[in-house]
Every structure is written in C-alpha cells, then in structure tokens.
Structure 1
Amino acid sequence: MARIYAASSWRNEYQPWIVQTLRNAGHEVYDFRKPFNGRPGFAWSDIDPDWQSWSAKKYRELLTTSPIAAAGYVSDLRAMEWADTCLLILPCGRSAHLEAGWFAGRGKRCLILTQDGEEPELMALLATDICISIAEVIARLNS
C-alpha cells in the first residue's frame, strides 16, 4: 500500500475518480479537495473573489500574508511529507508541477499520469514512471 499525494488541478474533472480508484485499490490518498484536516481545500477565491485580476505585487503580498493561504500551504506540505509517492495527474497547473518536482528532488517516487493530447515535457524524465492509464499506475504502485 502506498501513501499517495495526488497532485492535480481543481479543473481536472478526472481527479476525484482517480483518487477514489486508488483508494479502492487499497492505497491511502491525500486529496487536496478534501484535506486530512477536515477543512475545505484551498481556493484563491476564498481570499478574494476577484483574485484573477490581481497584480503581481498583490499576488505576492497575499500569498505571503494571508492566513487562508498559509493554512492551505501547511496542509498540502504536511501531506507531501507524509506521502511516499506523488501522482501528478495531467492536465494540471503550476502548483502540481512544483509539488511533483519537490517529490523528485527529495528522492521520493513520482508517477505522472498522462493521456493523449497532453503537451510533452522534457523534465518529465525526473519522474519515476510515466503512466498512460490508471491501471498502469496501480500496477506500478503494486510492484
């Protein structure tokens, strides 16, 4: 059984199904949408509904001073430390790629789940494995 950090995006419609499939296969999975701490997952709109119009200065300020951002960061970082495996579920955003890079840099297992139509990334070679189906992910986790 693996302890998995599922790195993805709120916009990835497959993420909830993948988390549940991994749990059904007997793995423990951190779901950023429903963190272990029982709070709702972090969303920029919780800080400011108009977050998409922020300047770079406002983004930096709120990232470093908002208690909501701090709580979301600590929740995800603790889960990353807890996990022995990262599953980067594509498509996803920049945060998920930073998380996967953290796992690779720490020498922890990092799997990428990709699909047809995803843009190739050279640095995906940092990952332990690149999988093209959830069945392949589960097989790698069980090996």
Structure 2
Amino acid sequence: MAKIYAASSWRNPHQPWLVEMLRNAGHAVYDFRNPFNGVPGFAWSEIDPNWQAWSAARYRELLTTSPIAARGFVSDLRAMQWADTCVLILPCGRSAHLEAGWFCGQGKRCIILTQDGEEPELMALLATEICISPDEVLAALRAGI
C-alpha cells in the first residue's frame, strides 16, 4: 500500500473519482479537497472572493500574511511529507506541478497521469513513471516503482 499525495486542480473533474479509485485499491490517499485534518481544502476565494483581480503585490502580501493561506500550506506540506508517492493528475495548475517537483527533488516516487490533448512537458522526465490511463497508475503502484 502506498501513501499517496494526489496533486491536481479544483478544476479537474476527474480528481474525485481517481482519489476514490486509489483508495479502493487499498492505498492511503491525501485529498486536498478533503484533508485528513478535517479542515476544508484551501481556496483563494476564502481569503477574498475577488482574488482574481489582485495585483502581484497584493497576492504576495496575502500569500505571506494570511492565516487562511498558512493553514492551507501547512496542511498540504504535512501531507506531502507524510506521503511516499505523488500522483500528478493532469490537467492541473502550477501548484500541483510545484508539489510534484518537490517529490522529485526529495527522491520520492512521482507518477504523472496524462491523457491525449495534454501539452507535452520535457521535465516530466523527472517523474518515476508517466502513465496514460488509471489502470497504468494502478499497475505502477503494484509494481512498486
């Protein structure tokens, strides 16, 4: 059984059922939408409903001073430290890619789940495995790559 950090995006409609699939296969999975600690998953709109109109200076200020941002960061970072595997579920945004990069830098297993239509990324070669279906992800986990 792997301890999995499922890195993806709130906008990815496949993330919830993929988390469930991994759990049904016997893995422990951190779901950023529903963290273990019972605290709701982080969303910028918790800080400010008008977050998309922020200037770069406002973004930096709130990222570094907001207790809501701090709570979300600590929750996700602790889960990353707990996990032995990252499954990067594409498509996703910059944060998920930073999380996957952190796993690669830590020497932890990183599996990318991609599909037709995703833009190729050269640095995906840092990942332990690049899978093109959920079945391939499960097979890679069983193989203990």
Specify the TM-score bucket, using the shorter chain as the normaliser: over 0.9
After superposition, the C-alpha distances for 1:101-134 in whole angstroms (9 at most, x for unaligned) are 0000000000000000000000000000000011
Q: Equivalent residue for 2:60?
A: 60
Q: What pairs up with 1:1-143 in 2 under 5 angstroms?
A: 1-143=1-143
Q: Which amino acid aligns with 1:20?
A: E
Residue deviations 1:63-98, cap 9 Å, x none? 000000000000000000000000000000000000
Q: Where do 5+ consecutive residues of structure 2 fail to align?
A: none
Aligned-pair identity in percent equals 80
3-state SS of 1:103 partner: helix
3-state SS of 1:19 partner: helix
Aligned residue type for 2:35:
P
What secondary structure is seen at the aligned counterpart in 2 of 1:41?
A: coil
Any idea what SS the aligned residue of 2:124 has? Answer: helix
Give the superposition deviation at 1:36: 0.8
Deviation at 1:142, TM superposition (A): 0.7
Look up the equivalent residue of 1:12 and give its one-letter code. Answer: N
Matched to 2:76, the amino acid is: D
Return the alpha-carbon distance in structure 1 between the equivalents of residues 21 and 12 of structure 2: 15
2-side partners of 1:46 and 1:141: how far apart?
Answer: 35
Q: Secondary structure at the match of 1:98?
A: helix
| TM-score normalised per structure 1 | 1.00
Note the C-alpha offset of 1:39: 1.0
Q: Secondary structure at the match of 1:42?
A: coil
* TM-score after normalising by structure 2: 0.98
Following TM superposition, the consecutive aligned residue runs of length 4 or more in structure 1 with deviations greater than 2 angstroms are none
Task: Report the 3-state secondary structure (helix = DSSP H, G, I; strand = E; otherwise coil) of the residue aligned with 1:40.
Answer: coil
Over residues 5-37 of structure 1, what are the superposed CA-to-partner deviations in whole Å (9 max), with x where a residue is unaligned?
000000000000000000000000000000011
Cα separation, 1, equivalents of 2:125 and 2:105: 12
Q: Write the distance in 2 (CA, Å) between the matches of 1:37 and 1:61.
A: 26
Aligned positions, number: 143
